[in-house]
Each structure stands twice: as structure tokens, then as C-alpha cells.
């Protein structure tokens, strides 16, 4: 709550400094240093209803960011305009073997940003107008800015992402990850690191969030330090789903900067 009270106060003080980005529906966006780096005094932010998910060291907020009509349009545009990794970038090394990734993946971001995956470091593809527009709406809604997006496309309920934490070294410490979902609703499951599998040392209930068409899930710090997440297979489901995780990379921490 405190955070919002503080942000509101700053909004009134900074009003004259805002820039306008009508395309993304952002009325006043002011860039700031640090983690809370833009204000949320926009039409987008004010109209949202957030649901809070909490557990031990888990802090997530969920909202419907896009109406059905908007989200339908966005997923068609994504299908028309996005291209996904092929070849070695579409494979993963698990249990001593190379396997095809059980989904499609691509990444876009600011000039000069790279990301590492399965031991390879590649440059982020530049932002497209569509992705910039979504990024700016996510920023207006959340109050945070992002310089990178990882996009996963699940062709149907056979496709999935296994348990992992988005705790990569090149991410700005403490910055939230914003996850936007389009298409087939799917379960997103959080498991506490100490409550997973046979070697669990704690009993902490998993947290499952159904990610609907057009929703935004904010994964706030320290969620990804303590909790793994996954999108399990749901073989009966046949619809396409596209997920975008907006992140903030610290260029000085990238593998390519070392």
C-alpha cells in the first residue's frame, strides 16, 4: 500500500514533466532511476483491478490488462508478425541429451542487449511497433519499465515450460518480471524451492494461477528467489497461447559484457 501512496504523491509533484504516448494509452509517463521508475497516473493504470497472490516470500499481482477484443487482435497480430527461433536456439540440453524445446521462443529488446540460453549468447531482436506498444502498456499498468521481452508460444496443451526460477544473473536485482498472456488460458504453478519433489524439507502448498487471455501477472521480488514456476502440460487443451515475460536486464551483468 505504502508504495502506491508514495507514487501518487510523486505524481502530483512531477506532473509537468510527463511525456505523452497516446499509441499505448499512456497519458503521463516519467522515467525514473531505480525500481519504481515511472508513475502510474495513466488511464490504463487507474482502470485496473488487481488481485494479490501471497505466500511465504511469494508476492504476485494479477489483472486483466486487455479486453477480449483487444487481446484477440493482439494474438492475431503476434501470429502474423512474430518469428521464432529455429536450429540450436530451439533446442535445450537436459539429462545429457539435446531435445527440441517443447514450445517456440524468441526474444526482443533494446539495442546492445544479449541473452544467454542453453550455453549460447545471442543478441535480442529489436523491438517491433507491436511489441513496443505492449511493452509501454505493461509499463503504464505496472509502474515499472522493461528493456527486454522473452516470448514463448505454446501451440496447444502439449507444449509446456518446466519448473525454473527466472533468477538469471543479468537481471536487475529486485526488479519485477511482468508476464502477459494471450490465447488459451493455462495453469501457472508456483512451487517453493524447499517444497519440491522427493527431497522436500518443508511443506508449503503450491500456488496455481490460471492465466487468462489478456492478463498481466506481476512477479515481484523476492518471488523468483524462493519459488520455481512452470506451465504444465494440459493435453486436453487445443488452443494456441503466447506469453511475454518483460524483464529488466542490467547490461553490465550480461555474459557478453564479461
Q: Identify each DSSP E strand in the chain by its residue range.
A: 19-21, 26-29, 51-55, 58-64, 91-94, 97-100, 104-109, 114-117, 120-123, 148-154, 161-164, 177-183, 186-192, 207-211, 215-220, 227-231, 241-247
Task: List the interface residues with ligand AKG, window 204-223 (CB under 6 A).
Answer: 211
Task: List the interface residues with Fe ion, window 148-167 (CB under 5 A).
Answer: 166
Task: List the interface residues with Fe ion, window 84-143 (CB under 5 A).
Answer: none
Does 115 appear as a known binding residue? Answer: yes
The pairing of beta strand 177-183 with beta strand 161-164 = unpaired
Closest CA to 23 of 103, 113, 131: 131
C-alpha cell at 248: 529488466
Query: Could you say which of 39, 184, 224, 243 contacts ligand AKG (CB under 6 A)?
Result: 243
Query: Could you say which of 231, 248, 249, 254 contacts ligand AKG (CB under 6 A)?
Result: 231
Shorter beta-carbon distance to Fe ion: residue 27 or 224: 224
Closest CA to 228 of 187, 253, 196, 201: 196
Phi, psi of 120 (to 5 degrees): -110, 145
**Size of residue set near ligand AKG by CB under 6 A:** 12
Q: Residue 188 binds what, of Fe ion, ligand AKG, none (CB under 5 to 8 Å, by partner type)?
A: ligand AKG
Quick note: the x/- pattern for ligand AKG over 134-173, rule CB under 6 A, is ----------------x-x--------x----x-------
What are the percentages of helix, strand and coil residues in the chain, rounded to 5?
Answer: 25, 35, 40
Does 143 appear as a known binding residue? Answer: no
Shorter beta-carbon distance to Fe ion: residue 105 or 256: 105
| Site of interaction with Fe ion (CB under 5 A) | 166
| Site of interaction with ligand AKG (CB under 6 A) | 150, 152, 161, 166, 179, 181, 188, 211, 229, 231, 243, 245
Amino acid at each position: 500500500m505504502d508504495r502506491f501512496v508514495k507514487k501518487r504523491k510523486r505524481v502530483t509533484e512531477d506532473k509537468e514533466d510527463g511525456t505523452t504516448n497516446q499509441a499505448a494509452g499512456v497519458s503521463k509517463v516519467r522515467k525514473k532511476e531505480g525500481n519504481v521508475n515511472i508513475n502510474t497516473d495513466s488511464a490504463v493504470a487507474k482502470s485496473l483491478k488487481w488481485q494479490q497472490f501471497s505466500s511465504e516470500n511469494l508476492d504476485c499481482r494479477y489483472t486483466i490488462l486487455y479486453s477480449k477484443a483487444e487481446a484477440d487482435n493482439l494474438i492475431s497480430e503476434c501470429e502474423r508478425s512474430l518469428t521464432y527461433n529455429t536450429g540450436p536456439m530451439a533446442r535445450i540440453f537436459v539429462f545429457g541429451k539435446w531435445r527440441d524445446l517443447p514450445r517456440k521462443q524468441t526474444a526482443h529488446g533494446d539495442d546492445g542487449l544479449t541473452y544467454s540460453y542453453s550455453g549460447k549468447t545471442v543478441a535480442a531482436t529489436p523491438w517491433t511497433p507491436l511489441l513496443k506498444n505492449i511493452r509501454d502498456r505493461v509499463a503504464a499498468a505496472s509502474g515499472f519499465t522493461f528493456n527486454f521481452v522473452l516470448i514463448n508460444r505454446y501451440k496447444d496443451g502439449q507444449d509446456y515450460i518446466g519448473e525454473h526460477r527466472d533468477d538469471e544473473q543479468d537481471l536487475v536485482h529486485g526488479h519485477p518480471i511482468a508476464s502477459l498472456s494471450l490465447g488459451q488460458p493455462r495453469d501457472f504453478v508456483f512451487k517453493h524451492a524447499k517444497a519440491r519433489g522427493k527431497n522436500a524439507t518443508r511443506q508449503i502448498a503450491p500456488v496455481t494461477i490460471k492465466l487468462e487471455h489478456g492478463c498481466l501477472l506481476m512477479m515481484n521480488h523476492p518471488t523468483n528467489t524462493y519459488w520455481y514456476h512452470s506451465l504444465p502440460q494440459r493435453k486436453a487443451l487445443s488452443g494456441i497461447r503466447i506469453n511475454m515475460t518483460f524483464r529488466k536486464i542490467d547490461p553490465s551483468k550480461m555474459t557478453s559484457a564479461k
